[in-house]
Structure 1
Amino acid sequence: MTATIHRGEPATGAARADHRVVRRRLGPGRRFRFAFWVGPALVLAVWSIGSATGLISPAVLTAPWDVVTAFRDQWTDHDLLGNILSSLRRVVVGLAFGVAGGVLLAIVSGLSRIGESVFDGPIQIKRSIPTLALVPLFIAWFGIGEQMKIVTIALISLVPIYVHTHNGLRGIDGKYAELAETIGIGRGEFVRHVVLPGALPGFLLGMRFAVTSALLGLVVVEQYNAVSGVGYMIMLAEQYGATNVIVVGLVIYGLFGYLADTAVRLTGRRVLAWRRTLDD
C-alpha cells in the first residue's frame, strides 16, 4: 500500500520511506548532486591507462602528460592566455546576442497569436537550415572579420533558446489562466508571476543546447581568417604537425562546454528549487 501525502499535512513515516524508495529508484540522490566530475575523471583515467599501456598510440591520441607539457609550453612561450580570452570573448558576445534575441522572439511569439504567426514560421524554416551552411553567405555580407564570427555564434544559439522557451510558454496549463480570471489577476501580473516562471525550465534547457551550439559555431568560425583564439592555435598546430597542441585546443574547447553546461545546470537547480525533480 502506498501512502498518500495531502497538501498541507505532515508526511507520515511510511510516506517518507516510500518517497525515499521512489527517489532511490528513479533519481541520483542528493549525495551525487555535485558529482559532475565523475564522468570526466573516468574518461581521463581510461585515456591515461590506454596511453601508459600502449593501447592508445601517440599517433592516434597524444598522452595526457604530453598534453600537459604542450599546454605549459603554449602558456609560457606563446600567447595561450590571449587565445583563450579571445575565444571566450567571441562566444560570450555571440551567445549574449543569441539568448537575448531568442528570449525576446519567444516571448512575443509565445504570448501573442500575431507574434507567433509572424515569427514562428521563419524560425522553424531556419531550424531546417544549418547555420554553419550560411557561413559563406555571412562572409559575403559581413566580411571575414569579427562581425561574421559573432553573428554566426548568435544565430546558431538563438534557435534552441527560442524553441525551448516558446514551448515552455505554450506549455503552461490552461487551468492557471482560468484560475487567474476567477480571482481577478490582471494579464500583466499573470504573465509576470505565472507564465514566465513556468517557462523558466524550458529556457534553461534551451540554454544548455545554446551553449553547446555556440561552441560548435566558435570552432568553425575561428578557422576563417582568425589571428587569435583557440581555433587559430589549432590551425597553426595543424600546419606544423603538432598533434599535442591540437589536443590542447580540443581539451580547452571541451572544458569550455563542460564548465558552461555545469554552470547552467547548477543555476537551474538553484532557481528551480521549488520544483521537485529526480535530482532532489
Structure 2
Amino acid sequence: MSASTTVGAPETTPTPAGAPRPEALSRPGVRAAVGLAVPVLLLLAWWAATAAGAFSAVQLPSPQAVVRAGADLAGRGDLWTHIGISTQRVLLGFAIGAVLGLAVGSALGLSRWADALLAPLIGALRAVPSLAWVPLLILWMQIGEDSKVTLIAIGAFFPVFTTVHSALRHVDPHLVEAGRAFGYHGLSLLRTVQLPAVVPAVFSGLRLALAQAWLFLVAAELIASSMGLGFLLTDSQNNGRTDRLILAIILLAVLGKVSDWGLGLVERWALRRWS
C-alpha cells in the first residue's frame, strides 16, 4: 500500500473521461432519449438509402411514402379500424391466456400429482407451431372472432404457465411454513404468501405472453380476416404495396412497445405493493 492511500477509504473505479455516468440514465427523460437514438439513426439511414437510389420503391419505399400511405389509410378511416380491431383481439386473447396460464401454472406448481399428470402433455403442446392450430380452430369454431382470440390466447398461455409453474416450485419452503403457522391454507396461502413471493417471475411471464400475443396476432388474422394489422400485412404483400406493408410492421412494433410499457407500469405498482 502506498503512503498516499488512506486506510479504510472505499475503493472507487474511475469513470473514463467523456463516458456518461451510470446515474445519468436514472434522470427523467434521459433514458428515453438514449433509447430513441438508435431508431432515429435507423430512420436517417433508411432515408439516405432511398434518397441515394440504393433500392427501388418496390423493395424499400422512402419514409415519406410510408407516411403518405398511413395518411391515406387514416383519411379513409381504415387505419384506425385496423389498429382498433387488432388491439382488441390481442388484449382479449392475452387476458384469457394469462388467466388460464396463472391458474394452471399455480395448480401444477403447488401439486406434485398435478405436475406429474399434466406437465408432459403441456410441454408437448407448447412445442406445436402457431400455424398448426389454425385449421383445427377453423374446424371447431368456424371463421370468426372466437377462433382468432383463441389462437392468441394459446400463444399467451404458455409463457405465463411456464414462469408461474417454475417460480412456485422454487418458493422458499420456510416462507410457506410461516404462512401456514399464521393460519393460511389453500387459496388463502397462495394469494397471501406464495403468489406475492413470485411477483417478479409472474410479470416476466406476463410481458413475454404479451409479446407472444402480438406475434400470434398475425397468424390469427390469417384466418379469413378482412380487417386488422395482420390482414394489412398480407393484403399489402399480395397487392405489391410495400409502403403499407412497412407501415403495418412499424405499427405492430409501436403498439407492442406501448402495451409492454403499460404492463411495466402495472409491474412497478405490484412490486411496490407486494415486495
On whether the aligned pair clears a TM of 0.5, the verdict is: yes
Cα shift at 1:41 = 4.4
Query: Partner residue of 1:210?
Result: 209
Q: What secondary structure is seen at the aligned counterpart in 2 of 1:272? A: helix
Asked if the contact 2:58/2:240 (under 8 Å) is kept, the reply is no
Alignment counterpart, residue 35 of structure 2, candidates 21, 36, 39 = 39
2 CA distance for matches of 1:36 and 1:275?
Answer: 27
Cα shift at 1:68 = 1.5
Closer, same or farther: CA 192–31 of 1 in aligned 2, 3 Å: same
**CA deviation profile, 1:71-130 (whole Å, cap 9, x unmatched):** 111100351111111111111111111011111111211222233233322211112222
Aligned pairs (5 A) from 1:33-182: 35-36=31-32, 38-53=34-49, 54=52, 57=55, 58-180=57-179
1 CA distance for matches of 2:169 and 2:272?
Answer: 22
Closer, same or farther: CA 152–56 of 1 in aligned 2, 3 Å: farther
Query: Partner residue of 1:8?
Result: none
Query: Partner residue of 2:5?
Result: none
2 CA distance for matches of 1:114 and 1:223?
Answer: 39
2 CA distance for matches of 1:27 and 1:174?
Answer: 37
Paired residues, number: 258
2 CA distance for matches of 1:50 and 1:186?
Answer: 59
Provide the TM-score with structure 1 as the length reference.
Answer: 0.80
Asked if the contact 1:107/1:166 (under 8 Å) is kept, the reply is yes
Query: Partner residue of 1:248?
Result: 247
Which segment drifts farther, 209-218 or 129-138? 129-138
Letter in 2 for 1:137: L
Cα shift at 1:224 = 2.4
Letter in 2 for 1:140: L
Letter in 1 for 2:184: G
Letter in 2 for 1:125: A
Asked if the contact 2:138/2:223 (under 8 Å) is kept, the reply is no
Closer, same or farther: CA 55–107 of 1 in aligned 2, 3 Å: farther
Query: Partner residue of 1:10?
Result: none
**CA deviation profile, 1:132-157 (whole Å, cap 9, x unmatched):** 32222222222232221111111111
2 CA distance for matches of 1:35 and 1:68?
Answer: 27
Closer, same or farther: CA 134–143 of 1 in aligned 2, 3 Å: same
**CA deviation profile, 1:223-280 (whole Å, cap 9, x unmatched):** 221111122223332232111111111111111211122222232223213799xxxx
1 CA distance for matches of 2:81 and 2:271?
Answer: 36
Asked if the contact 2:218/2:230 (under 8 Å) is kept, the reply is yes
2 CA distance for matches of 1:82 and 1:64?
Answer: 22
Letter in 1 for 2:259: A
Task: Tell me the C-alpha RMSD between the 2 structures.
Answer: 3.1
Q: What secondary structure is seen at the aligned counterpart in 2 of 1:250? A: helix
Letter in 2 for 1:43: P
Query: Partner residue of 1:233?
Result: 232
Closer, same or farther: CA 31–218 of 1 in aligned 2, 3 Å: same
